[in-house]
A and B are shown apart, each in its own frame.
Chain A
Amino acid sequence: MNDGVALLKAAQKLDEDALTAIFDQFAPAIYKYTLRLCHDPIVADNIVGDVFAQLLEQFAAGKGPRTNLRSYLYQTAYHLVVDRSRDNQHNAPLDVAVGTYEKGQIAPTQTQIEERVMMEALIAAMNTELTEDQRHVIILRFLEDFSLKETAEIIGKEVNNIKVIQNRGIAKLRKALGMQLGDGW
């Protein structure tokens, strides 16, 4: 925590080492997050570039985050993804685990097979059943480990609203998995 605060203070003074360290620490995570939202590696890479360019501009102008740098970066990425999806006139599809869930290089066990089937059903449900807000909230809460408060800050909603969105999203996923896997899954 103290390291994060010291890093942020050094970055505010435009310290080159601090700015580079911030990129090395957060760029891969931001890339994953944007890739989940926009499913295109090139677009995700561009959004990462935009996020850090905006961060530099903010620091140069004497602005930028004062406390929670990680939340700030995700918030910027979220807004960029939303803006891009609006510009493209289509919903940003969520490709949660594109090419990442390796299909058994080693002979999978029965449990692993069941888990993989459930995982694929879950990914399909997230892509098709959830609304955009529900996807964002579930990704931020369970894939990026943000708290309710941080998620609310990133998305720009109240904490109670985030709770409702999260519960509705999980309920939808449960129903979708029940439809795909049977009621007794």
Chain B
Amino acid sequence: MEIEHQEQIIIDLLAKLKNAEGGYPKKLLASRRQIYLKQIANMSLGMGAGTGLKNLAEGPKGGLTGLHLPAIPTSTFLEAVLVVAIVIEAGIVAYRYRDKIVEILTSAPTARAEEVVPIPITGSSQPEAATPSLTPTATPTPSPANTPTFTVTATDAQLLIQSTDASATATPIPQNDNGNHYGQTPKPDRTKVKNTPKPTKAKKDSAPTEIYDRP
């Protein structure tokens, strides 16, 4: 009982001690408050531009009380502003130079399938000459010294046209040919003459005698 009473006295003393405390010195408090306000201003400038706009719109001093802006991050807000500015600038430039743009668009070459530029034919004035004709000037002879020479009168372009016009013909399918040609190859004729005597072998002993027989 005595202990509880003494502890209660201590608690009462502590409560009085609380009320007897001195306050924050005015100069210290004022300077600390100024620093704090600067920190708030720096933070609002650096990080909270979007939020600051929102507060401005929602705050009683803002004058835009009826306007409710969503909470936009600063980076998104700046990005949107930049995109809008770029679009507006592009529109102004397009309007100012609209005549030049129309000229450029109309003068641009358009690819048409119907218009085929005729290829000029060089070397012959007649259209019949378009077909390539191979005129051999020399007939091939068995002598290897005379190589056959050909004169091509058509140009490469004509050949190209000719080759594109010509329809490709497939190789005819052989009849009754299953692909098995075993035993059908004709045997070659024998070139050796029969009953031709074989040359006799020279005797080993006769050779030195021939040497001695020479004059």
- Which A residues lie at the B interface, using CB under 8 A? 13-17, 19-20, 23-24, 27-28, 31-32, 36, 41, 45, 48-49, 52-53, 56, 60, 96-102, 115, 118-119, 122-123, 138, 142-145, 170-171, 173-174, 177-178, 185
B1 within 8 A of A: no
Contact partner, A138, options B14, B36, B55, Cβ 8 Å:
B14
Please give, as numbers and ranges, the residues of chain A lying within 8 Å of B79 by CB-CB distance: none
User: Of the candidates A31, A60, A122, which one forms a contact with B14 in the assembled complex, judged by CB atoms under 8 Å apart?
Assistant: A122
B59 within 8 A of A: yes
Q: Contacts A20-B37, A28-B29, A31-B24: A97 and B17 contacting too (C-beta < 8 A)?
A: yes
SS class of chain B's interface: helix, strand, loop or mixed?
A: helix
Asked whether, in the complex, the Cβ of B15 is within 8 Å of the Cβ of A41, the reply is no
Q: Which residues of B contact A (CB under 8 A)?
A: 3, 6-7, 9-11, 13-18, 20-25, 28-29, 32-33, 35-37, 39-41, 43-44, 47-48, 51-52, 54-55, 59, 71
Cross-chain contact B47 with A60 (CB below 8 angstroms): yes
* Other A-B pairs beyond A13-B54, A17-B59, A185-B6, 15, CB < 8 Å: A13-B51, A14-B40, A15-B59, A27-B24, A41-B25, A45-B28, A60-B43, A100-B20, A101-B20, A118-B13, A119-B17, A142-B15, A143-B14, A170-B7, A177-B6
Q: Which residue of A lies closest to B35 (CB)?
A: A49
Can you list 22 A-B pairs with a CB-CB distance of less than 8 A? Answer: A14-B40, A14-B43, A14-B47, A14-B55, A15-B55, A17-B59, A20-B36, A23-B33, A24-B33, A28-B29, A31-B29, A41-B28, A45-B28, A53-B36, A56-B43, A100-B20, A100-B22, A102-B20, A115-B16, A145-B18, A170-B7, A170-B11
